Structure 1
């Protein structure tokens, strides 16, 4: 996605440090034979708090030279050890200092576009034995404010926290709609100071955890029945932020340019729906019959490929 006057990529940094919980990476080929690596890694920051990050890299750069990012991710796939493989005591301690906040857009089974927040990175490093190990998950990002509103609970009551929605310009002119929350002094400042259309920089904690509550149900006789309730919490909690950028500031985003980017995003999302519809139609075509082989012969195993164009690549 690009617009005529490409938006400046926002400052966007994610830091995650913790134990490598699981690696789910695959090396595959596009239909025209280009190799790439992609998938997800999970990092445990604390018990019950795990963060998933997407990774992707082509095997070669556009000029045909070796891609160092691919090589690094291949090392993670083949050499890094995770909790899932060897247990918590032996798992690698890893650090990510160049992650980013973004969104994952896809078409659901109902034919509608779903958008969820997503963390991504292409640089994963082991924490060396002589380094200080500080498990954490933090963000710092510039954004254009869309709205400031009170957070409401399921009963429709105000929680005292504030929801800050905004747009984060991405590489290449794309734009990611994201939502943040603030509480206490931060919520008060945002209510009084932040307004729609302003450019600000905020930072805070990435929260992804499971809250477990045990409830004992009364019974007529015998031991009380214990019921476990799990509440999944995933949010970007603001712990600090800048004053709104001045209009004269060269880093202040032009609201009209943001509007153009949003229009182009809508076109992109419509394209996702059309692709999904075409794929569904093609999927209904009868499958080709498998060619019969003679005695003792085995069908040739097909190499994993995927139909992917330059427009689909996440960079």
Structure 2
């Protein structure tokens, strides 16, 4: 059961750039749609936001969110379906989240950007960016290390309360300028508001290696960097603030999270065993494969953004 005592944290992501590609697919039961936007904020950075919506609300009315998604699919120009010169400049807003699943009995967890809405921007108001503004419940602060040495930056670990009383773990990197302040002031179980930049950096460089004869050999180097970089933050909330998170309620939500993850693990193992059994059946005597993988019907009011 969702822990409804837990206030949803402020959790805002803004990604503004050139629409690189848009992908979508309809739910298997034809009652909703999934959408993904790839937005290029500079020459080396592309950010993906994912959205989903049923076609109708709980009251049976047409979903404005699904209608907006369909407009993006039908009308927006991207680099992939048009050209870089003609591709739309867009501003998308969403939230920080996690994509979590089990593979080989192991939990895989990756940061993910959910999509709330997007709109086209004029050249005059266009400001490429990928930023976040988030409240979180602090677990600890540690010094970042690379190759056994401290980098001067800090790692802020904590939990972000989501819609419906759920929480997710999340880690941020703090700039060198702010690392000392965060280490000294962001105590365990404090509630804080931080903001900064979403870094998703991919660079491909080519270097020619001289040869005694023939064409020079071209060596390709690729660099990838992904992090959520805190560039600024507020003082921790006062203890008597109505927005301070209660550690006991957070703990309750974390216990519920563990129960849900255990259920997800059992379902993943069940699906894996079912697939293995089907493979063993070979041909001739095996039963035809059937699928029970139906999308969960999610109404607009149930979406966490």
* Match of residue 22 from structure 1: 21
Superposed counterparts of 1:207-222, under 5 Å:
207-212=199-204, 221=212
1:123 correspondence with 2:117? yes
* Match of residue 294 from structure 2: 307
* Match of residue 42 from structure 2: 46
* Match of residue 132 from structure 2: 139
Q: Displacement, 1:227?
A: 3.1
CA contact (8 A) 1:29 1:305 kept: no
Q: Secondary structure at the match of 1:195?
A: coil
Q: How far, CA to CA, are the matches of 2:272 and 2:303 in structure 1?
A: 23
CA contact (8 A) 1:57 1:122 kept: no
Superposed counterparts of 1:161-172, under 5 Å:
161-172=153-164
1:2 correspondence with 2:2? yes
CA contact (8 A) 2:102 2:264 kept: yes
* Match of residue 10 from structure 2: 11
Q: How far, CA to CA, are the matches of 1:188 and 1:211 in structure 2?
A: 31
Q: 1:289 to 1:100 in 2, by over 3 A?
A: closer
CA contact (8 A) 2:154 2:176 kept: no
Structure 2 runs not aligned, ≥5 long: none
CA contact (8 A) 2:54 2:297 kept: no
Q: How far, CA to CA, are the matches of 1:124 and 1:12 in structure 2?
A: 16
* Match of residue 148 from structure 1: 141
CA contact (8 A) 2:206 2:219 kept: yes
Q: How far, CA to CA, are the matches of 1:215 and 1:261 in structure 2?
A: 52
CA contact (8 A) 2:32 2:297 kept: no
Q: Displacement, 1:85?
A: 1.1
1:257 correspondence with 2:252? no
1:77 correspondence with 2:73? yes
Q: TM-score, normalised by structure 1?
A: 0.86
* Match of residue 160 from structure 1: 152
2:177 corresponds, among 185, 199, 216, to 185
Q: How far, CA to CA, are the matches of 2:298 and 2:106 in structure 1?
A: 21
CA contact (8 A) 1:28 1:305 kept: no
2:101 corresponds, among 93, 106, 126, to 106
Q: 1:117 to 1:99 in 2, by over 3 A?
A: same
Q: 1:39 to 1:45 in 2, by over 3 A?
A: same
Q: How far, CA to CA, are the matches of 1:228 and 1:195 in structure 2?
A: 44
Q: Displacement, 1:29?
A: 3.7
Mean Cα displacement is larger for which, 273-282 or 41-50? 273-282
Q: Secondary structure at the match of 1:84?
A: coil
CA contact (8 A) 2:27 2:295 kept: no
Q: Displacement, 1:282?
A: 3.0
Q: Secondary structure at the match of 1:122?
A: strand
Superposed counterparts of 1:204-283, under 5 Å:
204-212=196-204, 221=212, 227-283=219-275
Q: TM-score, normalised by structure 2?
A: 0.88
Q: Displacement, 1:308?
A: 2.8
